[in-house]
Amino acid sequence: MAKTQRVVFSFDERSYDSLQQIKDRGRFSSMGEAVRESLQISRALQSQSSQGFSEIVVRNPETKEERVIVVPNLQAAAR
């Protein structure tokens, strides 16, 4: 079994509300699960950034419309 460590975060009200929304919209069982998933996504984006990628393309499968999302931290890291 993997060793776990307890971490305590302090959030201002706005950040706490944002985390609560992420938990609810993502249907995560806990805020901890929402944070773990967010870390996995961040790690994947950082990996792509280290290979020179700095934009994310999202596509609506129904309309085929595409949009480019520029993540500022990724752009800085890709330079």
pTM for the model stands at 0.73
Q: Strands, DSSP E only, in the chain?
A: 55-59, 66-70
Please tell me the distance from the alpha carbon of residue 22 to that of residue 30, in angstroms, as a whole number.
Answer: 10
Question: Mind listing the pLDDT tens digit for each residue in 16-63?
Answer: 999 999 999 999 999 999 999 999 999 999 899 888 888 899 999 999
Span between the terminal Cα atoms of the chain, in Å: 39
